[in-house]
């Protein structure tokens, strides 16, 4: 039962964080963008992994994976911005960005694997 409460607590904190950022984005988009760009979720995840007793090798592997996936992630944000800037509307911009990001992730992982770089 205790593990379930901890898990529910983590879910609540995560949801609250997203709601706070959403509200901040309505009032100050620049500040919300800055906060989202900070590696807060990554730092929180690594901290929770450490507190849960995960070995540092697993945390190191997570940190590498987070770093590894940064380049294709930027495509998503860039395409949403571009679509909205071009007047495509929110949902078309989001759909194009999600689709292109999925393709970019696949191509990126395949390309890196051919260079001998993989995430385990």
* pLDDT of 95: 98
Determine the pLDDT at residue 115: 94
The answer to whether the CB of 80 falls within 8 A of the CB of 92 is no
How far, in Å, CA of 69 to CA of 102, rounded?
12
Q: Where are the domains of the chain?
A: 70-120
Q: What is the pLDDT of residues 70-110, one digit of tens each?
A: 999 999 999 999 999 999 999 999 999 999 999 999 999 99
**What does pTM read for this prediction?**
0.73
């Amino acid at each position: 039962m205790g593990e379930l409460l901890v898990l529910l607590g983590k879910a609540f904190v995560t949801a609250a964080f997203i709601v706070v950022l959403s509200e901040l984005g309505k009032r100050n988009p620049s500040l919300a963008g800055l906060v989202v760009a900070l590696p807060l979720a990554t730092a929180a995840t690594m901290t929770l992994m450490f507190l849960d007793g995960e070995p540092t090798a697993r945390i190191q592997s997570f940190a590498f994976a987070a770093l590894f996936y940064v380049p294709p992630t930027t495509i998503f944000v860039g395409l949403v911005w571009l679509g909205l800037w071009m007047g495509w509307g929110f949902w078309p911009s989001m759909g194009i960005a999600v689709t292109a990001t999925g393709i970019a992730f696949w191509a990126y992982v395949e390309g890196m694997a051919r260079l001998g770089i993989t995430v385990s």
